[in-house]
Structure 1
Amino acid sequence: MAEEIIELSGDFWNIRGDLRIKGILNVGTQCSLVRLGEGRFVFLDSYTLTGDIRERVMELTDQGRAVEAVLNVHPFHTLHCAQMAKDFPSATFYGSSRHARQVPEVSWAPDKVESHAARARYPELAFSLPEGIDYISDIEGVHAGSLLVFHPPSGALHVDDTFNVLPLPEIARKVLPVQQIAFHPTLKDALEDTPDAGARFCDWAERIAAEWSETRTLCAAHSTLRRFEAGAFSKALRATIEKARPKLAGAS
């Protein structure tokens, strides 16, 4: 994996970043930059910008002054928040309760990122919190919960961990029985302690397949981008749900 900024439309850029486990294995991470109305910008997630990527972002955003907010949508993605706050001091920083605990030096907005109040400020974006699983798990290594963000004009869906994409060459996908979309491997551990938790998660994912059927690019953390022809995203997600539902039913 390599750091890069990918323009998905004239209003949406996905930044692929580095995340090295114990300084060796690079599992990657991401953030996205979205241009809203009247020249305003928001980031989805935080990442420390350097080099050419930083120069490009600063060029787009009037040296950062046009960045209105940073929406930190995954409770366990906290490593870059402090630096991002230094780089964009005029932006409002939204996060979960875990962000506030883990990075207290950032001046966090009182409204949590997943709250209706925070979401309502950005009608150009669509948000969805998965049902049936814990947004913030009590188990430190369970990262399946995240707030998903869809940008209808570009067809870009930004999602951390809840949905995964295996970073395989297209030729390998044609010969190997690999799903185009996968659920996070800790999903079972993230299920709420109710008998219907697994079914509720699958039902929620079905609604995403229907309501966000215009998704053309899935921007997934720790993996890669996955581009879809018209209607293909819904088909791929439903195939994943169909395979997972029997395993998740009664798994809470």
Structure 2
Amino acid sequence: MTQPAKITEIAPGCFNLRAPFTILAGIVDIGTHMSFIKLSSGKFVLLSTVQLDAQAKKEVHDLTKGGELIEAVIGTNPFHTLAFEQFYELYPNAPFYGTPRHIRKYKEIPWAGSVTDPAVLTRWAPELALELTQGGEFDDPQPESTNHFAGVVAIHLPSKTMVVDDCFRVSKNPGIIERGIFGRRDMEVSFHWSLYNDALYKTPSAVQTFHDWVLHLTKTYDFDNLSTAHGGILIGGAKAELVLGLEKARVALKKMAVARGGDLVY
């Protein structure tokens, strides 16, 4: 019996691969993802990596013609690191770009550059826009066990698709706790829980910086779809949902800003 494809096309030129990722000693599978952005040249920019089983290896191999079409592999979240060694073994000739933590952690990979370099962030413009989360620590987030918020947000303009790991989340089939306590709807866009704890700098201006950056994304880029690592994929209406998510968070964000000696001006 033929298994369903693991790599799916979210929108023309934007492909996504979902993979298991467990927490709490393997009890809870929160899932994760990697994405394949097809450029007008026919080559691919890969966003993050996941552990590949036999079927996924074959699909990646077929999509990229054995790696020939891989123009870049980009580490998009400092803590999404576990699959880079495996992927480098499979495709050692591909250029790898990492976050500072990737580069410190895996010295055996000959990194082509850091995503903190503006030249890397703009390398594939105007087709692919890359933005760093603003308002929090990106180089060395602490505490490492919980502060996984900051990362690279990618917007593939031709397909109108935003790809993000941890800072934004799409609630897919929310359970009783999400629905009852947080009032989540199916396919609602919200923010990672660490936003209200360690994610942002504890300075008077950090909350405003983050808030304004989210608004900047919605005003600058034309996107309609959103793929998140540990949530779902929203096809259609993603920008409007992100705006609603920010509006829903504003009361809590303002309270946090005031507690840190600042304010939040909408």
Q: Same fold (TM over 0.5)?
A: yes
Superposition pairs for residues 25-64 of structure 1, below 5 Å?
25-64=28-67
Aligned to 1:113: 115
Superposition pairs for residues 129-148 of structure 1, below 5 Å?
129-135=132-138, 136-140=140-144, 141-148=146-153
- Provide the rounded CA distance (Å) in 2 between the counterparts of 1:58 and 1:202: 40
- Provide the rounded CA distance (Å) in 2 between the counterparts of 1:133 and 1:54: 35
Aligned: 1:196 with 2:205: yes
Q: Secondary structure, in 3 states, of the residue corresponding to 1:38?
A: coil
- Provide the rounded CA distance (Å) in 2 between the counterparts of 1:158 and 1:149: 5
- Letter paired with 1:4: K
The count of residues paired between Structure 1 and Structure 2 equals 243
Shift of 1:3: 8.6
Aligned: 1:205 with 2:190: no
Shift of 1:145: 0.5
Contact 1:133 1:192 in 2 (8 A): yes
Alignment partner of 1:247 out of 228, 243, 252: 252
Contact 1:198 1:245 in 2 (8 A): no
Contact 1:95 1:108 in 2 (8 A): yes
Shift of 1:157: 0.8
Aligned to 2:264: none
What RMSD over aligned residues (CA atoms) do the two structures have, in Å?
Answer: 2.3
Aligned to 1:98: 101
Aligned to 1:224: 232
Contact 1:32 1:43 in 2 (8 A): yes
Q: Structure 2, unaligned stretches of length 5 or more?
A: 261-266
Q: Structure 1, unaligned stretches of length 5 or more?
A: none
Shift of 1:125: 0.3
Structure 2 length normalisation: TM-score? Answer: 0.84
Q: Secondary structure, in 3 states, of the residue corresponding to 1:186?
A: helix
- Letter paired with 2:233: L
- Provide the rounded CA distance (Å) in 2 between the counterparts of 1:3 and 1:78: 24
- Letter paired with 1:40: K
Alignment partner of 1:122 out of 121, 124, 136: 124
Contact 2:33 2:229 in 1 (8 A): yes
- Letter paired with 1:103: Y
- Provide the rounded CA distance (Å) in 2 between the counterparts of 1:119 and 1:186: 25
